[in-house]
Amino acid sequence: MAVPKPGARATTAKKSVAEKKSKPAAAKQAAAAAPKPSPKAAARPAPKRVAKPVPKALVKAAAKPAAKPRTTGLPTTQAEGRASTSLVKRAVDALRQRILAVTGPDDAFLGSEEQLIATLGVSRPTFRQAARLLEHEALLKIKRGIGGGFFAQPPSVQAVSRMAAIFLSSQGATLQQIANATAPVIEEAAGALAGTSDASVRRRLAEHVKQHAGFEASPDEGHRVQAVLAFDALVGQLSGNPALALMLNLLHGLVRDPEHGLFRVTPARARAHAEYQQQLAAAVQKRDVATARQLARQHSASLSSGLPKGTLAAA
């Protein structure tokens, strides 16, 4: 390894000191050589920055309150769901009571949407849910446009019969089962009618039989069917028992109404029914309850024997 000479070390140290001294001098020379700003430029103030105007649309948007998050109107918790259901149920019950209290003709005007919302004291979504449920029950009719609104539809046997037919079809009910359920209803209604002390009721039945005399000879089967159904409906109505009237209309309608195509009223069946009508009217006039019940049982047996086989849905 080579050892530097003593003279070389001294020379290197002198050079470092000289370089350090020369750096400040060089910086001063560079500053002196740089162009100096004129007095006017030095006295001129720096230009001001002018902010650009904000568009009016942005100002209005910023002034508006933050929009609330949109909701679907559906309950988000179980408690809210129960509260919503309770409100709808109360609205349905209140509106149903108004409909059932109507004593005028069918399609009685209940009010506009705004009027009924104010009367019931519910929100629009709640009212509309209630209205849809009552419309499904065939108790409410909704008309749109000029002259529209909400109209009462009193409950009808036809509406109940349609729903019963759907239910019994889904359950696979047989026609014989329906006839078996009809038989005691016919007998009970005939007995109640014969036992009435109201002379006007007995007279009304006799007048109906007289008015429809000869229907069995009609070549129109539809006319024969309607005569049979009308008599059965009148027996239920005059029995004085709304439950019997409903059941008699319902069950007889399912079996005999041509809409269901289950039971044909042939001329022979029509003659048998015409004879039954005359005999029952005579027993009612005499207030002979036992004979009226016996005639009803025989009539039910005749009806059952003429039913086609199969279920309500298949017939």
Give the residues across from 174 on adjacent strands. Answer: 311
Whole-model pTM: value is 0.58
SS3 311: strand
pLDDT one digit per residue (tens) for the chain, 315 residues: 555 555 545 455 455 545 555 555 555 565 555 555 555 555 555 555 555 565 565 555 555 555 444 443 444 455 555 556 788 999 999 999 998 888 766 778 999 999 999 999 999 999 999 999 999 888 899 998 887 899 998 877 777 777 787 788 788 888 778 888 888 999 999 999 999 999 999 999 999 999 999 999 999 988 888 888 889 889 999 999 988 888 887 776 676 655 555 567 889 889 999 999 999 999 999 999 999 999 999 988 887 776 666 666 544
SS3 151: strand
CATH topology of domain 158-305: Four Helix Bundle (Hemerythrin (Met), subunit A) (1.20.120)
Q: Domain locations in the chain? A: 87-152, 158-305
SS3 112: coil
| Tokens linked to 94 | 């209140």
Return d(Cα 120, Cα 90) in angstroms, integer. 9
What are the respective helix, strand and coil percentages of the chain, to the nearest 5? 65, 5, 30
Return d(Cα 184, Cα 305) in angstroms, integer. 16
Burial of 133 (0-12, 13-18, 19+ CB in 10 A): middle
Return d(Cα 196, Cα 180) in angstroms, integer. 26
Contacts of 124 (CB under 8 A, 6+ apart): 113, 117
| Tokens linked to 38 | 């004129």
> Quick one: which of 262, 248, 250 has its CA closest to 296?
248
CATH 1.10.10.10 fits 87-152, yes or no: yes
| Tokens linked to 306 | 């003429």
